[in-house]
Amino acid sequence: MGPAPGITTVSGAFYMVKEDTVLTFTDCAVVPEPTPEQLADSGVAAARDRRRIVGDEPVVAFLSYSTKGSAAGPRIARVQQALAMLAARRPPLDFAFDGELQADAALVADVATRKAPGSRAAGCANVLVFPDLDSGNIGYKLVQRLGGWEAIGPILQGLARPVADLSRGATADDIVDTAAVVVLQAGEA
Protein backbone atom coordinates (compact mmCIF):
# COMPACT_ATOMS: atom_id res chain seq x y z
CA MET A 1 0.00 0.00 0.00
CA GLY A 2 2.93 2.35 0.62
CA PRO A 3 3.22 5.70 2.34
CA ALA A 4 0.86 8.64 1.94
CA PRO A 5 1.89 11.40 -0.49
CA GLY A 6 4.70 13.51 0.94
CA ILE A 7 5.37 11.09 3.83
CA THR A 8 8.15 8.50 4.08
CA THR A 9 7.63 7.37 7.68
CA VAL A 10 4.88 5.30 9.23
CA SER A 11 4.19 6.37 12.80
CA GLY A 12 1.54 5.74 15.42
CA ALA A 13 -0.79 8.05 17.29
CA PHE A 14 -3.09 7.83 20.26
CA TYR A 15 -6.15 10.02 20.57
CA MET A 16 -6.40 10.97 24.22
CA VAL A 17 -9.97 11.87 25.18
CA LYS A 18 -11.39 13.39 28.34
CA GLU A 19 -14.82 15.02 28.28
CA ASP A 20 -14.75 17.46 25.33
CA THR A 21 -10.97 17.55 24.99
CA VAL A 22 -9.05 15.45 22.45
CA LEU A 23 -5.26 15.49 22.22
CA THR A 24 -3.24 13.64 19.59
CA PHE A 25 -0.04 12.01 20.90
CA THR A 26 2.50 10.89 18.28
CA ASP A 27 4.64 8.78 17.85
CA CYS A 28 3.74 6.44 20.69
CA ALA A 29 3.89 3.15 18.84
CA VAL A 30 6.34 2.73 15.95
CA VAL A 31 9.68 4.57 15.65
CA PRO A 32 11.98 4.18 18.70
CA GLU A 33 14.61 6.86 17.89
CA PRO A 34 13.21 9.04 15.10
CA THR A 35 15.44 11.10 12.84
CA PRO A 36 14.52 14.76 12.30
CA GLU A 37 12.81 13.79 9.03
CA GLN A 38 10.80 11.08 10.81
CA LEU A 39 9.73 13.56 13.50
CA ALA A 40 8.61 15.99 10.80
CA ASP A 41 6.71 13.22 8.97
CA SER A 42 5.00 12.19 12.20
CA GLY A 43 3.85 15.77 12.78
CA VAL A 44 2.49 16.11 9.23
CA ALA A 45 0.71 12.74 9.35
CA ALA A 46 -0.83 13.54 12.75
CA ALA A 47 -2.05 16.93 11.52
CA ARG A 48 -3.63 15.39 8.40
CA ASP A 49 -5.36 12.65 10.37
CA ARG A 50 -6.53 15.02 13.10
CA ARG A 51 -8.60 16.94 10.55
CA ARG A 52 -10.24 13.70 9.39
CA ILE A 53 -10.71 12.11 12.80
CA VAL A 54 -11.40 15.01 15.17
CA GLY A 55 -12.58 17.57 12.62
CA ASP A 56 -10.72 20.58 13.99
CA GLU A 57 -7.58 22.47 13.01
CA PRO A 58 -4.35 20.84 14.14
CA VAL A 59 -1.95 22.87 16.27
CA VAL A 60 1.27 20.87 16.46
CA ALA A 61 3.87 21.13 19.23
CA PHE A 62 7.21 19.33 18.99
CA LEU A 63 8.05 18.39 22.56
CA SER A 64 11.39 18.50 24.32
CA TYR A 65 12.89 19.06 27.75
CA SER A 66 13.76 22.54 26.44
CA THR A 67 11.58 25.45 25.34
CA LYS A 68 12.92 27.69 22.59
CA GLY A 69 16.59 27.19 23.39
CA SER A 70 16.40 27.09 27.20
CA ALA A 71 18.80 24.12 27.04
CA ALA A 72 21.10 22.61 24.45
CA GLY A 73 22.13 19.14 23.37
CA PRO A 74 21.81 16.56 20.60
CA ARG A 75 18.23 15.58 21.50
CA ILE A 76 17.12 19.22 21.33
CA ALA A 77 19.05 19.73 18.09
CA ARG A 78 17.15 16.79 16.55
CA VAL A 79 13.80 18.46 17.34
CA GLN A 80 15.06 21.82 16.02
CA GLN A 81 16.19 20.12 12.80
CA ALA A 82 12.75 18.53 12.41
CA LEU A 83 11.15 21.97 12.69
CA ALA A 84 13.52 23.42 10.09
CA MET A 85 12.68 20.55 7.72
CA LEU A 86 8.98 21.07 8.29
CA ALA A 87 9.24 24.81 7.67
CA ALA A 88 11.09 24.15 4.39
CA ARG A 89 8.49 21.74 2.98
CA ARG A 90 6.74 22.72 -0.20
CA PRO A 91 3.92 23.32 -0.72
CA PRO A 92 3.73 25.33 2.49
CA LEU A 93 2.00 23.49 5.31
CA ASP A 94 -1.47 24.63 6.28
CA PHE A 95 -1.34 24.13 10.03
CA ALA A 96 0.29 25.86 12.98
CA PHE A 97 3.37 24.20 14.47
CA ASP A 98 6.24 25.12 16.75
CA GLY A 99 8.92 23.74 19.00
CA GLU A 100 10.98 22.85 20.73
CA LEU A 101 8.48 23.16 23.58
CA GLN A 102 8.23 21.64 27.01
CA ALA A 103 4.82 20.02 27.61
CA ASP A 104 3.63 22.79 29.92
CA ALA A 105 4.53 25.46 27.36
CA ALA A 106 2.70 23.49 24.66
CA LEU A 107 -0.50 23.10 26.66
CA VAL A 108 -0.87 25.92 29.20
CA ALA A 109 -1.45 29.47 27.91
CA ASP A 110 0.01 31.23 30.97
CA VAL A 111 3.20 29.17 30.76
CA ALA A 112 3.41 29.70 26.99
CA THR A 113 3.23 33.46 27.44
CA ARG A 114 6.34 33.35 29.65
CA LYS A 115 8.34 30.63 27.92
CA ALA A 116 7.42 31.01 24.23
CA PRO A 117 5.89 34.44 23.54
CA GLY A 118 4.65 34.82 19.98
CA SER A 119 4.49 31.09 19.30
CA ARG A 120 1.69 29.90 16.99
CA ALA A 121 1.37 26.61 18.87
CA ALA A 122 2.43 27.21 22.46
CA GLY A 123 -0.39 27.17 24.97
CA CYS A 124 -2.95 25.83 22.51
CA ALA A 125 -1.44 22.65 21.04
CA ASN A 126 -3.75 19.73 20.30
CA VAL A 127 -1.11 17.52 18.61
CA LEU A 128 1.95 16.60 20.66
CA VAL A 129 4.96 15.17 18.79
CA PHE A 130 7.09 13.28 21.27
CA PRO A 131 10.86 13.22 20.66
CA ASP A 132 11.11 9.42 20.93
CA LEU A 133 9.05 6.28 21.45
CA ASP A 134 9.99 6.01 25.14
CA SER A 135 8.57 9.41 26.05
CA GLY A 136 5.51 9.01 23.81
CA ASN A 137 4.57 5.60 25.15
CA ILE A 138 5.22 6.61 28.77
CA GLY A 139 3.34 9.88 28.28
CA TYR A 140 0.14 8.37 26.91
CA LYS A 141 0.07 5.66 29.59
CA LEU A 142 0.56 8.21 32.41
CA VAL A 143 -2.23 10.41 31.05
CA GLN A 144 -4.47 7.36 30.60
CA ARG A 145 -3.82 5.62 33.90
CA LEU A 146 -3.27 8.54 36.29
CA GLY A 147 -5.26 11.24 34.52
CA GLY A 148 -8.28 9.13 33.63
CA TRP A 149 -8.18 9.90 29.90
CA GLU A 150 -9.40 7.40 27.32
CA ALA A 151 -6.62 6.28 24.97
CA ILE A 152 -7.82 5.39 21.46
CA GLY A 153 -5.16 3.68 19.41
CA PRO A 154 -2.55 3.01 18.39
CA ILE A 155 -3.65 4.42 15.06
CA LEU A 156 -1.08 3.98 12.31
CA GLN A 157 -0.54 7.11 10.26
CA GLY A 158 1.45 8.07 7.20
CA LEU A 159 0.14 5.24 5.03
CA ALA A 160 -1.75 5.58 1.74
CA ARG A 161 -4.68 3.66 3.26
CA PRO A 162 -5.87 3.28 6.85
CA VAL A 163 -4.37 0.50 8.97
CA ALA A 164 -4.82 -0.08 12.70
CA ASP A 165 -3.04 -2.06 15.34
CA LEU A 166 -4.45 -3.25 18.64
CA SER A 167 -2.74 -3.87 21.95
CA ARG A 168 -2.74 -7.39 23.40
CA GLY A 169 -4.94 -5.99 26.18
CA ALA A 170 -7.54 -4.46 23.85
CA THR A 171 -11.13 -4.63 25.06
CA ALA A 172 -14.24 -4.87 22.89
CA ASP A 173 -14.68 -1.09 23.33
CA ASP A 174 -11.09 -0.52 22.18
CA ILE A 175 -11.76 -2.53 19.02
CA VAL A 176 -14.95 -0.57 18.25
CA ASP A 177 -13.23 2.79 18.88
CA THR A 178 -10.27 1.86 16.68
CA ALA A 179 -12.54 0.65 13.87
CA ALA A 180 -14.44 3.96 14.02
CA VAL A 181 -11.18 5.92 13.74
CA VAL A 182 -10.09 3.85 10.73
CA VAL A 183 -13.38 4.70 9.01
CA LEU A 184 -12.75 8.40 9.69
CA GLN A 185 -9.16 8.07 8.40
CA ALA A 186 -10.52 6.73 5.13
CA GLY A 187 -12.55 9.92 4.57
CA GLU A 188 -11.35 12.81 2.42
CA ALA A 189 -9.08 15.37 4.08
CA 45 to chain centre: 8
The percentage of residues in the chain with a pLDDT greater than 90, rounded to a whole number, is 72
pLDDT in tens, 54-65: 999 999 999 999
Give the whole-angstrom CA distance, residue 42 versus residue 62: 10
Highest mean pLDDT: which range of 46-50, 111-115, 152-156: 111-115
Question: Residues with Cβ < 8 Å from 3, sequence gap 6 or more?
Answer: 9, 10, 158, 159, 160
Which 3 state secondary structure label does DSSP give 169? coil
pLDDT of residue 90: 65
Residue 189 has pLDDT above 50, yes or no: no
Mean pLDDT of all residues belonging to the chain: 92
- Domain assignments of the chain as residue spans, ordered by start: 11-178
Domain 11-178 has CATH 2.40.30.110: no
